[in-house]
Amino acid sequence: MSRLNFATSVAFAIASLHSFVSATSSELSRRSDQVVLSTSNISVSFDVPAGAKLAMPLDRQLISMSIEFCYATDFIGTPGSPNTFSKQLLQNVQDKSGLPPILRIGGNTQDIAKFCENCPVAMNSTYKAGSTEAVNVTFSKGLFKAMNENGPSNQNYIFGLNLGQDDVEIPKAELAGALKYLDQSKLIAYELGNEPDHYIWPQVNYRSPATWTMAAYVKQTLDWLPQLASGKRFQYGSSAANPATVSEFTMVQAVKWGISKIKQIKIISSHSYMGDRCTPANEALLSLETYVNHMNTVQYYSSYLGEIAAAKSIGATYHMGETNTVACHGKDGLSNTMGALLWMIDYAFYMATLGADRLFFHNGKGDFFYSMWEPVALNESYAAHINPQYYSMLFAADVVSDIKTPSIHRIAGLDTYDLAHYAIYSGSKIQKMVILNTHYHNGTTETRPAKYVDLSPVLGRNIQVKRLTSANTIAKNGTTWGGQSVNSAGKLVGEEVWEESQSGVVRMFASEAIIVKAKGR
Ligand SMILES: *[C@@H]1O[C@H](CO)[C@@H](O)[C@H](O)[C@H]1NC(C)=O
Ligand SMILES: *[C@@H]1O[C@H](CO)[C@@H](O)[C@H](O)[C@H]1NC(C)=O
Ligand SMILES: *[C@@H]1O[C@H](CO)[C@@H](O)[C@H](O)[C@H]1NC(C)=O
Ligand SMILES: *[C@@H]1O[C@H](CO)[C@@H](O)[C@H](O)[C@H]1NC(C)=O
Ligand SMILES: *[C@@H]1O[C@H](CO)[C@@H](O)[C@H](O)[C@H]1NC(C)=O
Ligand SMILES: *[C@@H]1O[C@H](CO)[C@@H](O)[C@H](O)[C@H]1NC(C)=O
């Protein structure tokens, strides 16, 4: 997960969003102060050259993964015994775009983990009854060996080190182990500490609230990072503070406190969950309809613009370094649905238009309902399986697959609460359009609402369409991507389908997403 309890910081934001979104669709469509019109026939027409000038780089690994530290070997396996299901799922993405998602190994349990070079198992996570986040984690050289050997050929990692225990000897030993056993060409960066803004929480109790401030964090990292490895790249921040609320643990503040002096910092990371189920009260505020409201997603994440600018101001890459729908491991029936899948794609592409480089969607085992996949069988009747979330990576990989340096622009003027439009460019040339019809449809009404989207103004009348679909917004299985699905071995099965249209018009049902390109492009 992350988040033992981040109730107070987001409760305010969620509560205000909730009142906004609890209005019905028809009420929303009447509001003139928000761009929330829902129409059924749309002409996609905009200034294509102007969009190219405003387009932002679209990273080939935009949708990447974070794995809760204590579950690393559940996902990747152990030396000589790779998790073949995970490996195939990662390979599928690499097969499309050339690169699998980057795996960040981190989260709350990175701050309790310790290296034990010659311990008998790759990772030993121990749990208290009733908790699915380990209380003790040790890992040996076997973990690094598994990271080297078990992924697809282009697998890369971000590896989390322990700051929580406040003992520099712990991360020093971890890093020494990594330098000795981990193929450094697989490493994008190390990361020191997870969500340091939460170190003062009583449940965690890593630091005293009297002295733990952003200034203290910067001072400690200024002191530690040079001791750790002068030549290594680090991801920095990993704070869960929502920049729209009052917190000094923002990257804007970190830059003010002088982190540009820390030469190891190459990546700035924020953590974000749009809602949480860390308390019953907060869980009661959750609704999938909020997540599939595109304007809500735009409004919520626009608050990260300052954080992205802070990263760029010191020449750093910007990662949403740990994120997902619902903090405290996701919510069954929300986080593992088609609606949440559409939210992920919309959120990721929108962040790219703001200048973010990559997003790392968090994963765990068992009650982590937002995971891309369940990595191992939990018991005889509960096998390893994917969740709809996995298709987000296939979708994003197909968007960039045949474009060398893709860029992305959101056509804000066309967007509504249930329709998102992203133009994908190569230089000044438009290559594709991504359209999401996020209209909420839970299957209880007989007819599934549809929209007719006319792309002829920008792509011409002869177009090809690849469609992401499922029965409805709340479906937890049965998703298909261009007619294909993922079988129990993790393999893509079925014939890949690009639909053709000679009118430039595509019918999109509620809760679908498409990639569209001119035929013969
Ligand atoms: C929308 O377009 C479809 C297909 O072109 C057409 O059948 C339908 O009548 C249109 N609906 C509206 C409200 O204009
Ligand atoms: C795992 O760690 C626990 C202590 O947390 C210890 O009792 C146990 O023996 C260890 N298991 C292995 C296989 O190393
Ligand atoms: C965790 O490790 C500490 C020592 O590091 C030990 O005292 C404690 O018993 C362990 N807890 C469990 C549940 O293994
Ligand atoms: C198997 O695991 C699933 C998921 O945790 C759980 O819902 C189910 O009750 C378990 N079944 C048995 C027989 O233990
Ligand atoms: C489906 O949505 C309708 C209208 O929003 C609601 O009344 C109904 O309870 C929902 N059903 C399910 C199964 O979620
Ligand atoms: C798919 O989801 C439906 C509705 O929740 C359920 O009835 C069905 O058993 C699921 N199928 C599989 C293969 O999990």
| Phi, psi for residue 379 in degrees, rounded to 5 | -165, -175
CB 194 within 8 A of CB 234: no
Å from CA of 507 to ligand 1 middle = 10
Q: Copy the structure tokens of residue 478.
A: 């049965």
CB 470 within 8 A of CB 479: yes
Rounded mean pLDDT of 264-287?
A: 97
- Ligand 6 atom with least separation from CA of 385: 14
Which run of H or E residues covers position 93? helix 84-97
Q: Check residue 9 and give its pLDDT.
A: 32
What angle do the packed helices 141-149 and 169-181 form, to 10 degrees?
A: 40
Cite the DSSP H helix spans in 135-237. Answer: 141-149, 169-181, 214-228
| Distance set, CA 490 to CA 104, 373, 444, 466 (Å) | 21, 10, 31, 21
Q: Which ligand is nearest to the CA of 382?
A: 4
CA gap 3, 10 in Å, rounded: 11
Å from CA of 380 to ligand 4 middle = 8
| Distance set, CA 267 to CA 155, 207, 317 (Å) | 19, 25, 5
Q: Which class for 488: exposed (0-12), middle (13-18), buried (19 or more C-beta within 10 A)? A: exposed
Å from CA of 372 to ligand 4 middle = 19
pLDDT greater than 60 at residue 285: yes
Rounded mean pLDDT of 7-30?
A: 33
What angle do the packed helices 7-21 and 294-301 form, to 10 degrees?
A: 140
pTM equals 0.93
Name the residue at shortest CA distance from atom 11 of ligand 1: 41
Query: Token pair 């609606």 is at which residue?
Result: 339
Q: Check residue 11 and give its pLDDT.
A: 32
Q: Check residue 39 and give its pLDDT.
A: 76
Residue type, 265: I
Instruction: Note the Cα 54 to chain centre separation in Å.
Output: 24
Range of lowest pLDDT (9-23, 76-90, 272-286): 9-23
The per-residue DSSP string of 390-445 comes to GHHHHHHHHHHTT-SSEEEEE-GGG-BTTEEEEEEEETTEEEEEEEEE-----S-S
CB 351 within 8 A of CB 304: yes
Residue type, 453: V
CA gap 164, 157 in Å, rounded: 21
Pairing of strands 136-139, 463-469: unpaired
Average pLDDT, the chain: 92
- Ligand 3 atom with least separation from CA of 136: 1
pLDDT greater than 90 at residue 31: no
Range of lowest pLDDT (7-16, 43-52, 360-369, 492-501): 7-16
Q: Check residue 508 and give its pLDDT.
A: 97
Å from CA of 158 to ligand 2 middle = 26
Q: Check residue 518 and give its pLDDT.
A: 98
Q: Tell me the pLDDT band of 297, cut-offs 50, 70 and 90.
A: very high
CA gap 89, 95 in Å, rounded: 10
CA gap 151, 422 in Å, rounded: 32
Per-residue pLDDT tens for 238-271? 999 999 888 899 999 999 999 999 999 999 999 9
**SS3 state of residue 451:** strand
Angle (CA) 126 128 134, round 5°: 45
CB 392 within 8 A of CB 340: no
Rounded mean pLDDT of 162-176?
A: 98
The end-to-end CA distance of the chain, in Å, is 42
Q: Which residues contact 114 (CB under 8 A, 6 or more apart)?
A: 137, 138, 139, 162, 170, 173, 174
More confident residue, 443 or 7: 443
Q: Check residue 8 and give its pLDDT.
A: 32
Rounded mean pLDDT of 154-181?
A: 98
- Ligand 2 atom with least separation from CA of 126: 5
Name the residue at shortest CA distance from atom 9 of ligand 2: 124
CB 378 within 8 A of CB 387: no
Range of lowest pLDDT (70-79, 324-333, 371-380, 444-453): 444-453
CA gap 357, 63 in Å, rounded: 9
CA gap 101, 97 in Å, rounded: 10
Q: Which residues contact 97 (CB under 8 A, 6 or more apart)?
A: 60, 61, 396, 397, 398, 400, 401
Give the CA dihedral 112, 357, 324, 292, nearest 10 degrees: 170
Q: Which ligand is nearest to the CA of 116?
A: 2
Q: Tell me the pLDDT band of 13, cut-offs 50, 70 and 90.
A: very low
More confident residue, 8 or 293: 293
- Ligand 3 atom with least separation from CA of 114: 5
Q: Which residues of 135-151 are buried (b: 16+ CB within 10 A; e: fewer)?
A: eebbbbbbbbbbbbebb
Q: Tell me the pLDDT band of 375, cut-offs 50, 70 and 90.
A: very high
| Ligand 6 within 6 A of CB of 485 | no
Q: Tell me the pLDDT band of 163, cut-offs 50, 70 and 90.
A: very high
Q: Tell me the pLDDT band of 195, cut-offs 50, 70 and 90.
A: very high
Q: Check residue 247 and give its pLDDT.
A: 87
pLDDT greater than 80 at residue 358: yes
Å from CA of 382 to ligand 4 middle = 6
Rounded mean pLDDT of 274-278?
A: 96
Instruction: State the maximum Cα–Cα separation within the chain, in Å, rounded to a whole number.
Output: 67
CB 268 within 8 A of CB 234: no
Å from CA of 444 to ligand 5 middle = 6
Q: How many helices and strands in the chain, by DSSP H and E?
A: 16, 28
Q: Check residue 146 and give its pLDDT.
A: 98
Q: Tell me the pLDDT band of 53, cut-offs 50, 70 and 90.
A: very high
Give the CA dihedral 204, 206, 210, 211, nearest 10 degrees: -150
Q: Check residue 520 and give its pLDDT.
A: 85
CB 19 within 8 A of CB 293: no
pLDDT greater than 90 at residue 451: yes
Q: Which ligand is nearest to the CA of 288?
A: 5
Q: Check residue 37 and give its pLDDT.
A: 55
Q: Tell me the pLDDT band of 516, cut-offs 50, 70 and 90.
A: very high
Q: Check residue 447 and give its pLDDT.
A: 87
Rounded mean pLDDT of 390-415?
A: 98
pLDDT greater than 90 at residue 295: yes
